[in-house]
Amino acid sequence: MDKLRLLFLVFFICTFSACGDSNYSLKEKPQSVTIVLSKPNSSSSYRNFIEKLDTTIEINWVNAYTTPLSQLALELENADGIIMTGGVDIHPGLYGNSFDTIRCGTIDILRDELEGALLDYALENGTPCLGVCRGLQFMNVHLGGSLHPNLPDTLSNIHRGLSGAVNHPIEIVKNIGVFEINISNILDPVSNHHQGISRLAEDLEVWAIAPDGLAEGVRHKDTIAHPFFVGVQWHPERSGDVNSLAIPIGEGFLKYVLNYE
């Protein structure tokens, strides 16, 4: 009888703990994670944006832009997440419109090449990846899409003011499930860009749009291989916590970076 009880106890523990089926396994919350930034900004707004969401986690931040390639390869092997940050224009030759350089601002070819390598790694390994402003645009271009070289010429001038950032409404048109959002929720985040998606890459789908129809939120269609491959055209790291979706986006990204339940 004692042996039967012991066998039952072992079966019970293994069924509802880590030694049972993987569906019942519990992953401990990691104490530290590594996040690669394609290129940080001087204000450290991306770091501040993510770090405030969970102060119990130590984050090792990697500046891909200044890290030697040999070391970056090692850092990527340990990377738990990648953020494609905002910044200068993407060379239009990457989407077949080299003649549009005259309609662009500053272009950084080195950064284009570097971010191409980061996205290749994220796509190959399913690493959680968040694209912000230029980051969303580069996701689209890298996967075969194109951009408006200058939105005021081809669509509208609502996305950037004469002195820089503006606020304009954004409509959520699809709940993508990686963070809490409501269909038709109208947001009011910070926008500061003059380029945007023209032809959407086939592997991406749109989940948020601006009043002029510009794609403001995209994600990879293959959510099994790429559970968090999300881009936003606005700046959650510069937007307020209320009515901008900043906190849910950051928490959603961090959830997949931490990879625990």
Q: Which pLDDT tens digit goes with each residue over 185-225?
A: 678 888 999 999 999 999 999 999 999 999 999 999 999 99
Closest C-alpha to 132, from 1, 253, 256, 258:
253
Among residues 91, 168, 216, 237, the one annotated as catalytic is 237
Q: Which two tokens stand for residue 260?
A: 């625990």
Closest C-alpha to 171, from 212, 210, 219, 136:
210
SS3 string, the chain, reads CHHHHHHHHHHHHHHCCCCCCHHHCCCCCCCEEEEEECCCCCCCHHHHHHHCCCCCCEEEEEECCCCCHHHHHHHHHCCCEEEECCCCECCHHHHCCHHHHHHCCCECHHHHHHHHHHHHHHHHHCCCEEEECHHHHHHHHHCCCCEECCHHHHCCCCCCECCECEECCEEECCCCCCCCCCCCCEECCEECCCCEECCCCCCEEEEEECCCCCEEEEEECCCCCCCCEEEECCCCCCCCCCCCCHHHHHHHHHHHHHCCC
Place of tokens 């991306």: 46
User: Does residue 5 have a pLDDT over 60?
Assistant: no
**Tally of residues, the chain:** 261
Q: What is the mean pLDDT of the chain?
A: 87
Q: Which pLDDT tens digit goes with each residue over 17-74?
A: 334 333 434 467 778 999 999 999 988 999 999 999 999 999 999 999 999 989 999 9
Query: Confidence class of residue 183 from pLDDT cuts 50, 70 and 90?
Result: low
Among residues 91, 148, 159, 235, the one annotated as catalytic is 235
Judge residue 261's burial from the number of C-beta atoms within 10 Å of its C-beta, 0-12 exposed, 13-18 middle, 19 or more buried: exposed
Closest C-alpha to 137, from 82, 204, 50, 188:
204
Q: Is residue 237 flagged as an active site residue?
A: yes
Among residues 133, 193, 216, 226, the one annotated as catalytic is 133
Q: Is residue 58 flagged as an active site residue?
A: no
Q: How far apart are CA 45 and CA 39, in angstroms?
A: 12
User: Does residue 9 have a pLDDT over 50?
Assistant: no
What pLDDT shows up at residue 99?
86
170 forms beta bridges with 187
Residue type, 12: F
Q: Is residue 133 flagged as an active site residue?
A: yes
Q: Which pLDDT tens digit goes with each residue over 13-26?
A: 343 333 433 343 44
Q: How far apart are CA 214 and CA 159, in angstroms?
A: 10
What pLDDT shows up at residue 221?
97
